[in-house]
A and B are shown apart, each in its own frame.
Chain A
């Protein structure tokens, strides 16, 4: 299903058209998936021909940079604007994946994004599910796009 390629292409499109930050994609993680050292995450569920949870995870300074670039203003704390901005990224990313999969006859429905923040948390996938984590590098630091999925 080429999950990684679809995630990379859609993320690059979002950053090129609406965030205007230079972005470099790195190789998907093979270890260290549960402790990404992040302080803000936004996630959205997908259901249908497969079930998935798609998320973006950022250290605070990266989340602030992304949110600030989207809004065209400086952000100095993780507030509702920062959470809303990252939620919109997951929404657009999920929409892009939905469209890419629909072109191959795989149909999905989107849920509503959820955002969490904190100084320390771990993100686990249910046993039996698959997980892809792709790092992306900005000048300010690294963030991760995370897809946990199980084929129906």
Chain B
């Protein structure tokens, strides 16, 4: 059975680019879901079976870090792995993300190979 991924980014362009990178990386997802901020992501996770989440950090309404915290407090979704994809990949912010449960981070700009290397072990 194929996998389902959720891409969380306030930029429609970036969501399309990440989708394309997943295809180029050769990762076989049955379904690619999208959300425009952390709150939308929580709503999608509540209504769908998702195998992995790729999330931006800087977003309006609910940031990636706020999303990680809220997700960690919900037993139904807390174990779904999240990888951060962001321009913000300094050690301080990545340490915060990992403390909140993130399994890895990919810096924008990124290559499909980098997405594959980071996401592959989680699937």
Residues of A within 8 A of B (CB): 13-14, 17-18, 67, 70-72, 80-81, 84-85, 87-88, 91-92, 94-96, 98-99, 102, 110, 112
Chain B residue total in the interface (Cβ 8 A): 19
Chain B interface, >50% SS class: loop
Name the CB-closest residue of B to A86: B13
**Given A13-B109, A95-B107, are A85 and B13 neighbors across the interface (CB < 8 Å)?**
yes
Within 8 A of A (CB), among B40-92: 58, 60, 86-90
Q: B110 — which chain A residues lie within 8 A by C-beta? A: 17-18
Q: Known: A17-B111, A92-B108, A112-B60. Contact between A98 and B13, CB under 8 A?
A: no
Contact A17 B109 (CB under 8 A): yes
A81 vs B87: C-alpha distance when bound (angstroms): 19
Given A13-B109, A84-B11, A84-B12, do A70 and B17 touch, yes or no (CB 8 Å)? yes
A81 and B90 contact, CB distance less than 8 A: no
* Assembled-state Cα–Cα distance A94/B87 (Å): 8
Tell me the chain B residues, 74-123 only, with Cβ under 8 Å from chain A.
86-90, 107-111
Question: Is B11's CB under 8 angstroms from A88's CB?
Answer: yes
Is A91 a contact partner of B60 (Cβ separation < 8 A)? no
Q: How far is the CA of A138 from the CA of B111 in the complex (A)?
A: 21
Contact check, A95 vs B12: say whether CB atoms are below 8 A apart. Answer: no
Closest 10 CB pairs of A and B: A95-B87, A17-B109, A84-B13, A18-B109, A85-B13, A14-B109, A92-B108, A88-B11, A88-B13, A17-B111
